[in-house]
Amino acid sequence: MMVLMDPRRMCPHCRAFITVKDRVCPYCNESLAPKQSGDSPGMFAGFIPHVRFNTMIILLINFGLYMATVLFSMNAGNEKAFLDIDPRTLVDFGAKFNPYLAAGQWWRLVTAGFLHGGILHILMNSWVLFDLGAQVEEFYGASRMLVVYFVGTVVGFYASAWWSPAVSVGASAGICGLIGAMIAFGTHSRTGMGAAIRSMYIRWAVYVLLFGLLTQFTDNAAHIGGLAGGFGVAYIAGTPGPQRSLREQIWRAAGWLCILTTAFCFLKMYLWFRLNTR
């Protein structure tokens, strides 16, 4: 006989496993919002599972910008733009480029994390982000996940700028920030599950860095910076507590600050783009 069971999810407050139908956690009696960390649902909330909401929005932005860079590169004469974006186009759209960073274009530390240099680049990063982003949202909640991803991206590209003059783009700095967050979770947790999570994601980090050593155009400085930034934020943040506590309100505010800062960076990129690509 087949027994049908309700799908499970994790309570963002006490981390107990509950069913997706629960509106109040039976273990900690906290109310459960449609999405993690109490963020109000956006216009796509009915179509995107709550545990992947931030992840899916980041992926949509990444693919939208990739198509924009492909079209721009094609118009500039690059016949293979769909497979490989030329560096000039990437710089125009906000890549990390040290001379422009030195000239005060700090916003490139953010915008570079949403650009990709080719179809394999974006597909590989998207594959990892789709699963890893959902896991971090599940463990840390939406607001902390956003802060981890933002700080991982910025610290990653800052490390890249310090280490290498090469043009650099990609979501991997933010992704490494998420790996760092999962290592931090395993470090905090004194359970067998915590030890297993820490061990697994340390292996992930080693694989990423080894892959960077074996390939010519991988930015390992951005990966190391992302790991450090994500680990630091997550270690300080911990996992979510009661939704109405001051601590959670601070992290929600930090999440919104990251969103607004990212939007401001893309506005700066757009204004610079209009001025310099006429």
- 39, 143, 207 from 256: Cα distances, Å: 10, 8, 32
What is the rounded CA–CA span in Å between residue 115 and residue 61?
9
Give me the numbers of helices (H) and strands (E) for the chain, helices first please.
Answer: 10, 2
Is 31 assigned a catalytic role? no
List the beta bridge partners of residue 19.
Answer: 8
From the candidates 31, 172, 188, 189, which is the catalytic residue? 172
| CB 195 within 8 Å of CB 245 | no
Question: Catalytic pick from 13, 116, 121, 223?
Answer: 223
State yes or no: is 116 an active-site residue: no
213-247 burial, b for 16+ CB within 10 Å, e for fewer? eeeeebbbbbbbbbbbbbbbbbeebebbbebeeee
Nearest Cα neighbor of 100 from 85, 114, 90 is 90
Burial class (CB in 10 A: 0-12, 13-18, 19+), 189: middle
Task: Give catalytic residue positions.
Answer: 172, 223
